[in-house]
Structure 1
Amino acid sequence: MNWLGAIKSDIDAAQARDPAALGALEVFLTYPGLHALMIHRLTHQLHLFGLPILPRLLSHLNRFITGIEIHPAARIGRRCFIDHGMGVVIGETTVIGEDCHLYQGVTLGGTSTRREKRHPTLEDRVVVGAGAKIIGNVTIGHDSRIGAGAVVVSSVPPNATVVGVPGHVVAFTNTSNDTVERLPDPEWDRIEELERRVARLERERAASDPAVPGVGGSPGGFDGGASERPS
C-alpha cells in the first residue's frame, strides 16, 4: 500500500465522517487518530521488512504522542477513521477492513497466550462505539455497528447492531431499503414487565389504604407507564 496514498485516504475519511472537520489541513495538523495511523502505516511497513525493535519503538512513541496503541503487525485498511482516539488499543493480529470507524476507548484485544491469530477481524465499514471491547479471534461482519461500552466475545454477522455486556445482536440493517429491523429484546421485555408489576402493586396499595400517596405523579408514586424502548 502506498504510504502517502493511504494517508490521503485517511484524511478524506476524517473529513467525510466528522462534521467538525473544517478542512484537510486542520485534520492533518490536529487529529491524533490520523497521526496514529500515519505512524502505524510506517511501522507496519518496517515490520513487514523484518526490522527488529525499531517498529516497536516507533509504536511506543506513537502511544506516547497520541494515546493510541497499535501493534506494528496489525493490518489496517484504507479510509480508517479513529475518532478522538484516546485509549484505543489494537492488538498484534488484528485485521481491520476498509472504511472502518473506531471511537475513543476501543479495545481490539486477544485472549490466547499462544502465537496465533488471537485478535479480532473487522470487515469493511464496521463502526465500533466508544469504550467497546472486542476480544479474541472473532469476526465482525461488514456494515455492522458495535454499541458504546459493549463487550463482544463472539463473531457478529454482517449488517448487525450489537449492544450490551456480553454483546448481543438487537437489530439488522436491511441494505435493500436502508431500514433497521429490530429483534426481540428479552432483557428489555423483562424490565417492562417489572415496571408493570410495580405499577399494579402501587395502585392496589393506594386503593386499599387511602392514606398512602397515590400514583400518577403524586409524591412517591409511580406513573405506571412502561419506559420507552431505546431506539
Structure 2
Amino acid sequence: MLKVLKEDIDTIFEQDPAARNYFEVILTYSGLHAIWAHRIAHGLYKRRLFFLARAISQISRFFTGVEIHPGAKIGHRFFIDHGMGVVIGETCEIGDNVTVFQGVTLGGTGKEKGKRHPTIKDHALIATGAKVLGSITVGAYSKVGAGSVVLKDVPDHSTVVGIPGKVVIKNGSKIDKDLNHSDLPDPVADRFKELEEELKNLRNEVQQLRKGTSEHGDKVVQYANEAKRNV
C-alpha cells in the first residue's frame, strides 16, 4: 500500500511541473486525494460493503470535485490533473500510466446492465472536457482531444478529436505523452479545405469553358460575316 501511495505522488512530480515538494502535493492536490479515497472505497466495494464504499466516494466528491464510483478499476500511476468535474463510472476500467484532465467524463450511454463504461488502456491521455461514453475501448498510447465526444473504439497509438470523435492514425507509431492542445488535428476543418479546393477547381473549369465558348462564338460570327461578303 505504501508503495502504491508513493507511486501516486511520484506520478504527480513527473506529470505536473507546478509540483514543488511532497508536503504541498500531499496536502493540496485534490486529484491525488480523490485517487486515495477511491482506493479505500474500492477495497470496501470488493468486500461487498457497498454503502460504506459509496459513502466514502461521495464524501470525496464533496471535497475534491471528482466523482469516482467505487466499482471502477484503476491501475497504477493514474494522474488526474486539477480534477474538478471528472466523473468515472462504475464499470470503467483504467490501465496504468493514464492521465485525465479536468471535466472529463468516462460514462455510460443509457440504463443498460453489465459493462457499460469505457476501458482505458495503458498510457492513454484524455484531455480537458472530453467525454468517452459507453462500453468502448481507448487503446494504449492513444489521446482524446479537448472537448471531444468519443462513442466508438479508439485504436492503439491514435488521436481522437471532434464531436463525434474522429480518429486520426499516426502511422501506427508511438504517440508522445504530451498533448499540445493548440495543435490538434481538425477533421472538420480539413474537410472544408478539401471542399474549398474542389470549388476553386470547378470555378477554373467553368471559366475555361466560358472562354472556349466565347472564342468559338467569335469564330462563328467571323465566318458568317465572310460568307455575307462573298455573297
- Which TM-score band (shorter chain)? 0.7 to 0.9
Matches within 5 A, 1:51-130: 51-130=49-128
Q: How big is the shift at 1:55?
A: 0.6
**Structural mapping, 1:131-210, within 5 Å:** 131-172=129-170, 174-175=173-174, 187-193=188-194
TM-score where L is the length of structure 2: 0.77
**Structure index of larger Rg:** 2
Amino acid across the alignment from 2:99: H
SS in 2 for 1:118: coil
**Alignment check: 8 A CA contact 1:170 1:185 kept:** no
Aligned length: 193
Any gaps of 5 or more consecutive residues in structure 1?
179-183, 202-231
Structure with greater helix share of residues = 2
C-alpha distance in 2 between matches for 1:143 and 1:177: 8
- Aligned mates of 2:149, 2:36 — CA distance in 1: 28
Q: In 2 relative to 1, CA 141–176 (structure 1 residues): closer, same or farther, beyond 3 Å?
A: closer
Q: TM-score, normalised by structure 1?
A: 0.77
Q: Distance in 1 between matches of 2:52 and 2:109?
A: 26
- CA distance in 2 between counterparts of 1:176 and 1:137 reads 24
Q: For residue 91 of structure 1, report the CA deviation from its aligned partner.
A: 0.2
Aligned residues of 1:122 and 1:142 also touching (Cα < 8 A):
yes
Looking at structure 2, the residues matched to 177 and 112 of structure 1 have their Cα atoms a distance apart, in angstroms, of: 34
Which whole-Å CA distance do the structure 2 matches of 1:176 and 1:40 have between them?
29
How big is the alpha-carbon RMSD for the aligned residues of Structure 1 and Structure 2?
2.4
Contact 2:161 2:186 in 1 (8 A): no
Percentage of matched positions with identical amino acids? 50
**Amino acid in the other structure paired with 2:174:** T
**What is the aligned partner in structure 1 of residue 226 from structure 2?**
none
- Matched residue type, 2:191: R
In the alignment, the residues of structure 2 paired with residue 127 and residue 118 of structure 1 have an alpha-carbon distance, to the nearest angstrom, of 20
Name stretches of at least 5 consecutive residues in structure 2 with no aligned partner. 178-184, 204-231
1:145 deviates by 0.5
Whole-angstrom distance in 2 between the partners of 1:20 and 1:140: 28
Q: Which residue identity does 1:8 align to in structure 2?
A: K
1:23–1:177 distance in 2 versus 1, CA, 3 Å = closer
SS of corresponding position for 1:169: strand
